[in-house]
Amino acid sequence: MPLSPQLQDEIAERLRLALGLMETAEIASACSEYELRNSLSRLYYAFFHASVALLSATESDIAQVSRDHGALHARVQRKFGKTLLISRLMRELYELRKQCDYETGMLRTKYGGNIEAARRESILLLKRAKTQFYHLYHEARKYL
Amino acid sequence: MNLTSNQIEELIERRLREAGVSNFINRAHSQFLDIQDEIFIEIVLDDATHVESVEKILRDTAQELKAQGITLQGVVRALWQIIDVSYVGPSRSADGGLRAASFYDVTLQSGTRQHHASVDVSWGALEFLKEKRGLTILTAESRREFQTDVVARAVWSFIQDQLSQGGMSYWSPILHPRREMNDAAMLFVFGQTTVFNELWQAVSDAFEPSVIDSFFGSLAVSRKKIQSFDAVLQELSNLLGGAYRRGATFSTSANELFQKLDRSEQELLKKYFYARVEVLKTESPEIIIKYPLVFS
């Protein structure tokens, strides 16, 4: 059944936000700890909004689910399976985003205080995440 | 008595054991989720021979639980391996007519069960692959190599990706043996960016029969020539759809999007556009006659 124009607009708006966050989640080779934290946090929310956009097209109660990260992750896992990278990546990025936003000593505890290592690891994570993000984005895009 | 989610999981486990199919379950891929007001179970088998019997167990259990007010939803699927992908020939529709696509046969295996699926690779997807590989002019020999090697490998990756999806997005080659590999799917296989994908789609749309006249008409009205790709880009902005709705506040200009592409993607897109123009010259010469200034 085709989606209502209103729902299509909502999905399009979510996708624009998701893509905007993804495009600005850049990690430069000389970025500061705070720029790195911002980018990783944005990266999670890019996935968050793209997932909500996709699930909105197929499930009715997503407005409620989108207020609970755990419930949203379970829905993503139900949609894509347990082993698909997207499902695992969503949880991984969520944990990372919490550390970036709340843990004052994240750089020390996670990367041994080595900003170089943090940048390197994060750049690789971003590259891996981008492919998965495009997948989510294009799956949702099909409904527009 | 109301069952807990653990008890339901145990109940299903026991029934699978009793039916003698427990050994075929792939634990790493299977999942049991307690989602607010329903239970979701995904049973993944290493051998597709047993899919129907496991489906029956799940269906019967869901029916029993329904009487207790418990919603059980489930997916039963098998893990498949690709054995071979081979080029068959041009695609044909159900009535035997030729389609603008190539037809590939895919041999799959799951445990003791073998199955054939097929993939129609669209003209746009093939064109992308040619441009990507720099194969604009094909000899008889390089065409054969392109079909049996380059496209077959892309189809292999496409099927691999389809088979990797689980949960409710899983693909059953038994229920849906024929797949379509269009431009978007090909672009995804090659990891092209979302922005590239949007622009590629806009170019494809510009040459759709329903749009072609208005696209070239608007180029003519604004006195733009086809040789100037920058000028063409401005007109493509009107064809950006979906998440890039007209009037949206984020990235609505094709020019702006084009600048975000790396050099190789920019070249690829330009080549694709001019390849479509060449096809247009032979397939729809009336457009060239109608808008001579655009093509001058």
* Number of neighbours of residue A67 by Cβ within 10 angstroms: 9
Residues of chain B contacting A15 with CB distance shorter than 8 Å: 242-243
- pLDDT digit string, tens, across residues A96-107: 999 999 999 999
pLDDT of B135 > 60? The answer is: yes
Can you count the helices (H) and strands (E) in chain B?
Answer: 13, 7
pLDDT of A123 > 90? The answer is: yes
Min mean pLDDT across A24-38, B72-86, B191-205, B239-253 is at: B239-253
Q: Which band of pLDDT confidence, cut at 50, 70 and 90, is reported for residue B252?
A: low
Res B173: pLDDT: 96
Q: Do A131 and B33 touch (CB under 8 A)?
A: no
Instruction: Locate the chain B residue with the closest alpha carbon to A136.
Output: B194
Instruction: Locate the chain A residue with the closest alpha carbon to B196.
Output: A134
Q: Do A134 and B42 touch (CB under 8 A)?
A: no
pLDDT of B119 > 70? The answer is: yes
Residue carrying structure tokens 């109608």 = B290
Could you report the predicted ipTM of this complex, rounded to two decimals? 0.77
Q: Do B260 and A23 touch (CB under 8 A)?
A: yes
- pLDDT digit string, tens, across residues B66-88: 998 999 999 999 999 999 999 99
- pLDDT digit string, tens, across residues A49-89: 999 999 999 888 888 888 899 999 999 999 999 888 888 99
- Mean pLDDT within B50-69: 94
Q: Say if residues B39 and B5 touch (Cβ distance below 8 Å).
A: yes
Q: How many CB pairs under 8 A join A and B?
A: 86
Helix (H) or strand (E) holding B78: strand B72-78
**Helix pair angle (B51-67, B5-18), 10° resolution:** 140
Res A25: pLDDT: 92
Q: Do B188 and A82 touch (CB under 8 A)?
A: no
Q: Do A77 and B241 touch (CB under 8 A)?
A: no
- pLDDT digit string, tens, across residues A5-16: 889 889 989 998
Alpha-carbon dihedral angle through residues B258, B259, B265, B267, given to the nearest 10 degrees: 80
Provide the chain A residues 54-93 that lie in CB contact (below 8 A) with chain B: 71, 74-75, 77-84, 87
Q: Say if residues B272 and B131 touch (Cβ distance below 8 Å).
A: yes
Q: Do B243 and A81 touch (CB under 8 A)?
A: no
Residues of chain A contacting B199 with CB distance shorter than 8 Å: none
What's the mean per-residue pLDDT of chain B? 89
Shortest CB distance from B33 goes to which of A17, A78, A139? A78
Strand spans (E) along B111-222: 113-122, 178-181
Res B210: pLDDT: 85
Provide the chain A residues 118-137 that lie in CB contact (below 8 A) with chain B: 131, 133-135, 137
- Provide the b/e sequence for B212-234 (b: ≥16 CB within 10 Å): beebbeebbeeebebeeeebbbb
* Number of neighbours of residue B131 by Cβ within 10 angstroms: 18
Instruction: Locate the chain B residue with the closest alpha carbon to A130.
Output: B193
**Helix pair angle (B194-206, A115-141), 10° resolution:** 30
- pLDDT digit string, tens, across residues B159-178: 999 999 999 999 999 999 99
Res B259: pLDDT: 87
Q: Do A78 and B30 touch (CB under 8 A)?
A: no
- pLDDT digit string, tens, across residues B255-294: 888 988 888 889 989 988 998 898 888 888 999 999 999 9
pLDDT of B246 > 50? The answer is: no
Residues of chain A contacting B251 with CB distance shorter than 8 Å: 16, 19-20
The pair of three-digit structure tokens given for residue B222, joined into one six-digit string: 């604004």
In angstroms, the separation between the Cα of residue B293 and the nearest Cα of chain A is 35
The pair of three-digit structure tokens given for residue A99, joined into one six-digit string: 């550390």
Q: Which band of pLDDT confidence, cut at 50, 70 and 90, is reported for residue B153?
A: very high
Round the CA-based radius of gyration of chain A to a whole number and report it.
Answer: 16
* Number of neighbours of residue B17 by Cβ within 10 angstroms: 12
In angstroms, the separation between the Cα of residue B187 and the nearest Cα of chain A is 10
In angstroms, the separation between the Cα of residue B262 and the nearest Cα of chain A is 14
pLDDT of B251 > 70? The answer is: no
Q: Which band of pLDDT confidence, cut at 50, 70 and 90, is reported for residue B245?
A: low
Longest dimension (CA), chain B: 81
For the whole model, what pTM was predicted?
0.80
Which DSSP letter does residue A2 get? P
More confident residue, B239 or A109: A109
Residues of chain B contacting A144 with CB distance shorter than 8 Å: 241-243
Shortest CB distance from B242 goes to which of A133, A135, A141? A141
Residues of chain B contacting A12 with CB distance shorter than 8 Å: 242-243, 245, 248
